[in-house]
Each structure stands twice: as structure tokens, then as C-alpha cells.
Amino acid sequence: MKPYRVLLYYCYTTIEDPAQFRDEHHRLCIRLNLLGRIIVAAEGLNGTVSGTPADCDEYMRIVKADSRFSSLEFKVDEADEHAFQKLNVRLKDEIVNSDLPVDPRVRTGVHLEPEEFKKLKDADDVVLIDMRSNYEHAVGKFKGAITFDMENLRELPQHMDEIKHLKNKKVITYCTGGIKCEKASAYLIEQGFENVYQLHGGIIKYGLEAGGEDFDGKCYVFDNRVAVEVNQVNPVVISTCYRCGQPSDRMINCASPACNNHVPLCEACGDEHQGTCRDDCKTDPDLRPYDGTGYYAKETRGYSPLLGYRSQLATVNR
């Protein structure tokens, strides 16, 4: 058993006063020493946090005790250390950026549990569609899955022509933890797809509960780990080093903040080129020191969880 846990979760539910909830949730995470990224919106809650087993257990207990989140499922993984360097609890319009005119609380694709997905995914009348960004599926995806060259889910409507001929098929969408598929599958239904399913809990849950069979490569994650192993049955490497072309599933962010490209980079090229994806990136005057991981915490200007917490206390104690 490793000394830390990583929790991945989301829940589409109605939050009447998201600003107040954000502040309360913020204080809860500080009290439990959790680090990570959490998004609060009127439509629900989405987050990835890390902490000790005891702190994570208490967090899950408290969240699940709230009737609004009774259906929420936590994907729980182990880690050697905190998967984040800081805490961000933010208020936004959506818990996943999409701009899609759908509401998963009303209708979405049929949820398939990992074992159900495993049995159905290879049927002749089934098509798998990856709803993640191009840099994510470049390092790992399911065998035979359709992928889109898109930066984020907002671009999905631009790719409908690529799959309109599949409306008579059973379509199964998948993503990292399931949250994008809630809106993506709902959007496909709106576009006339009749047999729409989604992998419940996403790639991460499939790996944890069903062994990850036929997921090629690694799964890109949005924390210090960058990419994680999923397939315990028949793993392969599908990505190649951005610089030398040798097989590599070691994902990095370019050390040049002006570039910040998400690419596979082998260890040798990372060391030789200071964690940059191209030679011109080395000349960036703000080049970040490369520590071998290729992960750099995003700078957050004008936001401090601790200062925000103190501000709340000052308001309460007046």
C-alpha cells in the first residue's frame, strides 16, 4: 500500500448556491490537507485531489453524506506522493468546458460498467469513440477507437461529419474519468444517434476494475504523474518520442512556457534537450528548469486557497 491516494470524481447535480458551496468545500479541503483541482458549478462538482489514505477516506465520507452527491463515484488510485503541488477550488459555468447545448442531468448515453464494456466493445456493430483531446489519445487509446483531432470538447460539433455514417451502429464513448462522455454522449443523441453508450468511470475505472485489456499505451492525467499505466493484460506502447522517433510513452510538457506542448519525450532526449520539444524552445528566456518529470504546475495569479480561507474567516469573525 502506497502512502498517498489520488481521487478522481465528478457528479452532475444541482447546486443552488455554487459560490457558497465553493467556499465551504474550499475550507473542507484545507482542513483535510488535500491538494488538487476542483471545479464547482451550478451543474455539479468535478475534481481530482490527492492526500493521505485517512484524509481521503474522510473526504469521501463527507462528500457522499451530502444527498446531492449520493450517486457520486470515486475512482481511487495509489501514489508515492502528492499528485499535485497546490490546491485550486474554482467556480465556473461548467464542470467540464464544452459549450454543448445539452444537460446530462436530463439525458445522456447508457452507462456501461467496466465488465459490461469489456464484453461489448469488440462486437461487430459497436464503434468506440474517444472524446479526449489529441495529445491525450496520442499516448494511449483503445484498440480500433475513432479519435478526433481536437484540442477540447468544444470542438466536437466540428467533427460530426466524420462519424455521421455510424448512426446505425452502437456507439460507445469514452474518456479519462467519464465526465466528458456525459455531455458528449448526450450531444450525439441530440444529433440523431440512437444507440449511444458510455464507459462509466472512464479509462481509469476500466483499468482499476477490469484490468485495462486492449487499452494501448498510457492514460494521460492532469496531475504530476502526467500519464499512468492502465493495461495489466496486454500492454503496448503506441506513441513515439517527439524528437528521436523511438517508442516512448513518457509524456512531458515542453519546458518552454511559451510552447508548453504535451508530447512524448524519451528520457535520453529529455536530458539532452532540457525537456524541450524543439530546438527553438531552448531559447525561451523563461525556460523552466527541467527536473526529469516534464510536469510544471500552472501559475495561478490572483488566487490563493489559504488567503481565500483567511478572507472567509475574517468575514465570519466580524
State the catalytic residues: 175
| CA angle centred on 58, ends 27 and 63, rounded to 5° | 65
C-alpha grid cell, residue 154: 468544444
